[in-house]
Amino acid sequence: MEKNEFDSQLSALGVDFLDAGPFLEASKALVQAVGKKELRYWEVFPALLANAAEQGTLDHASAQKESGSRGTRKAFDSLVCLSLGLFKALGLQFSWAVALFSSLNSKSREQVSVFEQAFRKGDDLRVAGKALSGERVKLTFQRYFKPAARSLTGLLSKREEFGLEYSLSRVFSPKQKELFLKKLKGEKFTKTENEYFSRTVRKKAMALADPELHRLARELLK
């Protein structure tokens, strides 16, 4: 398959390198992206994986069988672990990702943890002998990930919501972020949740809302 044709077909999985093209079956798209052995395809792999899962077209076992050679299979498995590590680092919780993680062996689960920590520290990543920029992988995912439905639909656009969830994951723990979003949606807290929110989450939110702190933070980032 010619490169331009493959790029075009990837639009079916939310990656518009070029113009929209005919549908490419998800498992084959994932394997072909790995087989290209080009950084831009490997950087976009987490978005391809997530988009396929959100569309309900992800078949991990089928994709593994499609991978063919030992080298491609090894790179594919590593990129799956990298993707799951990225989702964890960003605080994104998907039921399909939990199921996929549960299907991995102990060695692969350890690899997921290694990738997660690398993303959190801002370190570069190594997959099948290739070096990938963790920051580029994050930015590529943010650009191409197209969630099917999100928790704040109606309040924020999908892009705004993803940006919010990513920013929250850098300030709040997963539980704190859950309560923050729950409060934002007007959902009722349990007594324990209300106490924890008041004791911890509210204080952080008040600090974030402080206009002077906001101004100083912007000055630091110039």
Same structural domain for residues 125 and 186?
no
Look at residue 161 in the predicted model and tell me its pLDDT.
56
What mean pLDDT comes out for the span 97-116?
Answer: 92
- What value does the mean pLDDT take over residues 175-191? 81
Q: What is the C-alpha radius of gyration for the chain, rounded to an integer number of angstroms?
A: 19
Domain of 196 in residue numbering reads as 171-220
Do residues 88 and 177 share a domain?
no
In a domain, 21, yes or no: yes
Residues 92, 136 within the same domain: yes
Residues 22-34: pLDDT tens digits? 344 666 778 788 8
The larger pLDDT score, comparing residue 30 to residue 141, is at 141
Residue 153, domain member (yes or no)? no
Clarify whether residues 135 and 40 are in a common domain: yes
In a domain, 127, yes or no: yes
For residue 125, the number of C-alpha atoms closer than 13 Å in the C-beta half-sphere is 32
Residue 200 maps to a domain: yes
Domain boundary among 109, 144, 179: 144
Same domain, 112 and 178: no
Number of domains in the chain: 2
Q: How many residues does the chain have?
A: 222
Confirm whether 157 is domain-assigned.
no
Per-residue pLDDT at 20: 34
CA–CA separation, 89 and 80 (whole Å): 14
CB atoms within 10 A of CB 57: 15
For residue 2, give the amino acid letter.
Answer: E
Q: Which two tokens stand for residue 7?
A: 């790029």
Asked whether residue 154 is assigned to any structural domain, the reply reads no
What tens digit of pLDDT does each residue of 42-82 get? Answer: 898 898 888 888 777 777 777 777 766 787 888 889 999 99
In a domain, residue 31? The reply is yes
pLDDT value at position 165? 66
Same domain, 135 and 197: no
Same domain, 90 and 196: no
84 falls within a domain: yes
One DSSP character per residue, 29-75 reads: HHHHHHHT--HHHHHTHHHHHHHHHHTT---HHHHHHHT-SHHHHHH
The answer on 124 and 38 residing in a single domain is yes
Per-residue model confidence (pLDDT) at position 83: 93
Domain boundary, last residue among 144, 162, 195: 144
Same domain, 48 and 119: yes
